C-alpha cells in the first residue's frame, strides 16, 4: 500500500532531481515576512507545482496557507544541504528515504514536516524558522519540540517495536535580506552549525542501524 504524503523520495538522487529548481533559481531563505515573499513568488512555476502537489494529494481538511509553501522551499534547501553533508560523511544516501508532509495516521490531521527512513529507523524531523529575539526563539523551539515528541509517540505506537523512532527539531534563521541584497553571514553560520549537529544526530543512529546488519554481525565474529 502506498504511503500517503506530499512526496516520498527514495534516495538522494531522486530527492535532488525533484528539488533541483532550488539550485537553478538560487533560492535563499529571506529575512522578509512570509506574506511579502508569497507576493513575490506565488506565480513561479515551482511555487505552483508544490501547492498543486499538496492539494492533489488531499492531505488536510484545513485550507492551505500560501506562507506554508514558502517554508517548504526553505526547508527543502536545508534538506539538500543536509543530504550533501551526510554523503560527505560516507553514509549511503541512496539508502535514505525522505517523506515530506506526512499526515499521521490517527494523528487528528497533524502532519510531520519530514520523516527520514533508514532500514529500521524513523527520524521525525521538524523545522522552525525564527527571525526575532532570542527569547521568542527559545519558545518557538519548545513548541516545535513538543510537536515532534507527540508525532514520534504516535508513530511509535503504530509500528512494530523493532522499529526505532526518534525525533529532532532544527530552528533556522533567515540568510538573506532581499531589500538590501545583503547576505546575513552570522545567520548563515548559525544554520551551517545547526545542520552539522543534525547530521551528527542522524549519523549516530544510522551507524547503530548498520551495526545491526547481518554482514556487520558476521564480521564481528572475527574480532
C-beta separation of 132 from 107 below 8 A: no
pLDDT for res 214: 78
Buried residues in 29-44 as b, exposed as e (16+ CB within 10 A): bbbbebeebbeebeee
Beta bridge partners of 10: 97
pLDDT for res 116: 98
Residue-range domain boundaries for the chain: 7-220
pLDDT for res 108: 79
Which helix (H) or strand (E) covers residue 12, if one does? helix 12-18
Per-residue model confidence as pLDDT tens for the chain (223 residues): 588 999 999 999 999 999 999 999 999 999 999 999 999 999 999 999 999 999 999 998 889 999 999 999 999 999 999 999 999 999 999 999 999 999 998 877 799 999 999 999 999 999 998 865 555 666 778 888 999 999 999 999 999 999 999 999 999 999 999 999 999 999 999 999 999 999 999 999 999 998 887 777 787 788 6
pLDDT for res 132: 59
pLDDT for res 7: 97
The C-alpha cell of 3 is what?
504511503
pLDDT for res 1: 58
Cell numbers 522578509 correspond to what residue?
Answer: 32
Amino acid at each position: 500500500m502506498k504511503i500517503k504524503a506530499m512526496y516520498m523520495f527514495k534516495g538522494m538522487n531522486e530527492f535532488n532531481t525533484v528539488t533541483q529548481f532550488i539550485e537553478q533559481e538560487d533560492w535563499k531563505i529571506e529575512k522578509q515576512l512570509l506574506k511579502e515573499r508569497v507576493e513575490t513568488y506565488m506565480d513561479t512555476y515551482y511555487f505552483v507545482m508544490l501547492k498543486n502537489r499538496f492539494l492533489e494529494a488531499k492531505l488536510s481538511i484545513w485550507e492551505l496557507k500560501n506562507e506554508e509553501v514558502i517554508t517548504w522551499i526553505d526547508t527543502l534547501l536545508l534538506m539538500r544541504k543536509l543530504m550533501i553533508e551526510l554523503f560527505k560523511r560516507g553514509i549511503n544516501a541512496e539508502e535514505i528515504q525522505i517523506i515530506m508532509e506526512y499526515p499521521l495516521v490517527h494523528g487528528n490531521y497533524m502532519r510531520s514536516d519530514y520523516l527520514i527512513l533508514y532500514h529500521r529507523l524513523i527520524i521525525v524531523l521538524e523545522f522552525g524558522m525564527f527571525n526575532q529575539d532570542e527569547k521568542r526563539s527559545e519558545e518557538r523551539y519548545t513548541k516545535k519540540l513538543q510537536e515532534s515528541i507527540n508525532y514520534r509517540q504516535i508513530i511509535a505506537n503504530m509500528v512494530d517495536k523493532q522499529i526505532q523512532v526518534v525525533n529532532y527539531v532544527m530552528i533556522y534563521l533567515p540568510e538573506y535580506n532581499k531589500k538590501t541584497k545583503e547576505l546575513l553571514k552570522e545567520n548563515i553560520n548559525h544554520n551551517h552549525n545547526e545542520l552539522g549537529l543534525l547530521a551528527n544526530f542522524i549519523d549516530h543512529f544510522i551507524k547503530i542501524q548498520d551495526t545491526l546488519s547481518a554482514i556487520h554481525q558476521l564480521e564481528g565474529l572475527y574480532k
